[in-house]
Amino acid sequence: MPDIFDRPIPRENTCSVKFDARKAVFGCEDVIPLWVADMDFAAPEAVTRALEQRARHPVYGYTLFPESLYSSITDWFQSRHGWAIEREWMLMAPGVVPSLHAAALAFAGEGEGVIIQPPVYPPFFSSVQKTGRVVIENPLEQVDGRYQMNLEHLEACASRDDARVLLLCSPHNPVGRVWNESELAAVLAIARRHNLLVLSDEIHCDLIYPDKPAHRMLARLAAENDALVTAIAPSKTFNMPGLGLSALVVPNAKHRKALKAVFDAMHMNQCNPFSVAGFEAGYRHGGQWLDQLMVYLQDNRDYVIDYVRQHLPAVRVAEPEGTYLLWLDCRALDMEDAELKRFFVDQAGVGMNPGITFGGPGSGFMRMNIGCPRRVLETALAQICQAMATLPG
């Protein structure tokens, strides 16, 4: 396991949400934070060097998106994913979450429907609700402990007169599925039949475990006239979500114009010079770091799963195919969701994301972030084991 990921990096008092918001989120600071989805690893050295170099120029004025930024995107996705992106298809965005809101505003009218597939990342809900659109839920289903899409139900959702947009999470947060080609092809076929625009959030596309099948970009399966927007970013890939920059790949000129109009209306078209520097450096020089990261995360994943199965029989966990997130099924503990969160915080001293925040199907689950040094997971799991030993029965 590479030493660069074993090395602890103190994050307290850096305005880190993951660490410095513990008191507000969990009610105490003495809790191991395995929640919000950023990792405790240093970004690739090339990213830090690029930021330092930009900082040495003492003027931080309004900044353009350089052509080299766009070419870093096209080069990365061609080499890593076999996806040829045309320059004109790209629209820079202030982040994937604002892009979800923009898609709801651009492609669904007030009171019209947007399909989501819970349990899913909470902003999928809020981007619909806070823009005055209607959430249409197409819940994932578990078959033999593995999540899959309910395509028959998705067809029924898409056939509704008010359905306009599908927000697809690929790979899926929090369940860790990497959708296969047949699943993605079925989604596209349903969208075609019902004139549905698909926004595919593929922010985790690079975080695929080496022992699992490769991620398939939905756009590689799409036909020329499919209504498709792909959201991408290096933020999860290279652990720099605080830089707040992403890109939308939108082959249809009319759809690009609609999204741009939303961003322009909110005056969100200016960029941060440090975001540009970090974004490009990651895609240009972060490949070797990423490959090492995924080996380390796979070892972390296997360690946690083995520990849970051996020492925590009341908890079930499916092996994720992508992301650095584990979806823990704690329903056998027979606790209400608030009680479950308090148990892990108060009794185990571990802070995780309650599954209920990912929608009703997440009730009784907890999401664990394994993007941290192994020793942190060892301590957290030992504390959970000790806490569970105190439970009756």
Task: Answer whether residue 15 is part of any domain.
Answer: yes
User: In the predicted model, what is the mean pLDDT of residues 65-84?
Assistant: 98
Q: Sign of torsion, CA 70 75 80 86?
A: positive
Q: Residue 2 has what pLDDT?
A: 54
| Percent with pLDDT over 70 in the chain | 99
Residue 14 pLDDT exceeds 90: yes
Task: Choose one of 261, 285, 309: the last residue of a domain.
Answer: 285
Task: Choose one of 234, 250, 285: the last residue of a domain.
Answer: 285
Q: Please give the order of strands across the beta sheet that includes 353-354.
A: 316-317, 325-329, 365-369, 353-354
Residue 270 pLDDT exceeds 90: no
Over the stretch 81-132, which tens digit does the pLDDT of each residue have? Answer: 999 999 999 999 999 999 999 999 999 999 999 999 999 999 999 999 999 9
Q: Residue 281 has what pLDDT?
A: 98
Residue 188 pLDDT exceeds 90: yes
Same domain, 93 and 145: yes
Q: How many domains does the chain have?
A: 2
Task: Answer whether residue 316 is part of any domain.
Answer: yes
3-state secondary structure of 199: strand
Same domain, 18 and 163: no
Residue 243 pLDDT exceeds 50: yes
Same domain, 278 and 328: no
The residue with greater pLDDT, 156 or 393, is 156
Same domain, 183 and 228: yes
User: Which of 2-16, 286-300, 321-335 has the lowest average pLDDT?
Assistant: 2-16
Q: Residue 1 has what pLDDT?
A: 43
Residue 28 pLDDT exceeds 50: yes
- Helix, strand, coil % over all residues of the chain, rounded to 5: 45, 15, 40
Q: Residues 285, 199, 114, CA angle at the centre, nearest 5°?
A: 150
Same domain, 262 and 296: no
Same domain, 256 and 158: yes
Instruction: Categorize the per-residue pLDDT at 392 as very low, low, confident or very high, splitting at 50, 70 and 90.
Output: confident
Contact 165, 197 (CB under 8 A): yes
User: In the predicted model, what is the mean pLDDT of residues 315-343?
Assistant: 97
User: In the predicted model, what is the mean pLDDT of residues 277-304?
Assistant: 98
10: containing domain: 3-44+287-387
Task: Answer whether residue 49 is part of any domain.
Answer: no
3-state secondary structure of 147: strand
CA distance 185 to 102: 25
Q: Give me the CATH number covering residue 232.
A: 3.40.640.10
3-state secondary structure of 276: helix
**Over the chain, what is the mean pLDDT?**
97
Rounded alpha-carbon distances, angstroms, from residue 327 to 70, 271, 274: 35, 35, 33
Task: Choose one of 257, 285, 313: the last residue of a domain.
Answer: 285
Same domain, 11 and 28: yes
Q: Residue 271 has what pLDDT?
A: 85
Q: Give me the CATH number covering residue 334.
A: 3.90.1150.10
Same domain, 82 and 175: yes
Same domain, 293 and 229: no
